[in-house]
Amino acid sequence: MPHGTLSLLYTFHFYLFGLIAIVSALLFVTRKSPVAAALWLVNTMFCLAALFVLLDAQFIGALQVIVYAGAIMVVFLFVIMLLNLGKAPPADIRGLGWKLAAGAVGIAIVADVLAVTRAKTPALLTLPAGFEANQIATTGAVAPIALPLFNQYLLAFEITSVLLLAAIVGAVVVGRQRGEDLAR
């Protein structure tokens, strides 16, 4: 779509979630505590899911939350706890200022949700009547995602799963070696 054809509210939220995703990603790589870093990564995943929803890819947004922010982060936290990295550093958020800032952000998000639910969807973002039913009847709801994923990108998909499995096995081996060293 040409620039300037979308509503200000839509554009604002797109850039807001993009900015939050970038800041969360930077905080993810700069945290000393692995648990805090994992939580910032979850926040990044939620912002990416919101961006997918804004781009009218609700299925990918839901997969982003379920698969990455849910399942894979549980595996990451399991590996972190398995390694038992010793005494954790103090929490990243300690002072009253941070709590007030978090409260202000929470109020702003609630206000945004209320504004979006009351706003009228622009004509450029609405599909013609019956479009979804025709699309689902011809190809199904998941086919536009599944066909490229399991045809064109199958090798990348499988390599990613093997890398995650190797990381888990490596964490178990490191955790066992550390346990055996402490037992001696």
Look at 1 and 40; give whichever has higher pLDDT: 40
Look at 17 and 63; give whichever has higher pLDDT: 17
Q: Which helix (H) or strand (E) covers residue 40, if one does? A: helix 34-54
pLDDT in tens, 19-73: 999 999 999 888 888 778 888 888 999 999 999 888 878 888 888 888 877 777 7
Mean pLDDT (the chain) is 79
Q: What is the pLDDT of residue 89?
A: 57
Asked if the model's pLDDT at residue 6 lies above 90, the reply is no
The rounded percent of the chain whose pLDDT value lies above 70 is 86
For the beta carbon of residue 82, count every other beta carbon within 10 angstroms. 16
Arithmetic mean of pLDDT, 145-160:
83
Look at 110 and 184; give whichever has higher pLDDT: 110
Q: Which listed CATH number (1.10.10.60, 3.10.20.30, 1.20.120.1200, 1.10.150.120) goes with 1-126?
A: 1.20.120.1200
Domain positions in the chain are 1-126, 133-184
Question: In the chain, how long is the greatest CA-to-CA distance?
Answer: 71
Pick from 37, 17, 39, 18: nearest CA to 28? 37
Q: Which residues contact 54 (CB under 8 A, 6 or more apart)?
A: 10, 13, 14, 17
* pTM exceeding the 0.75 threshold for the entire prediction: no
The rounded percent of the chain whose pLDDT value lies above 90 is 11
Q: How many CA atoms lie within 13 A of 121 on its CB side?
A: 8
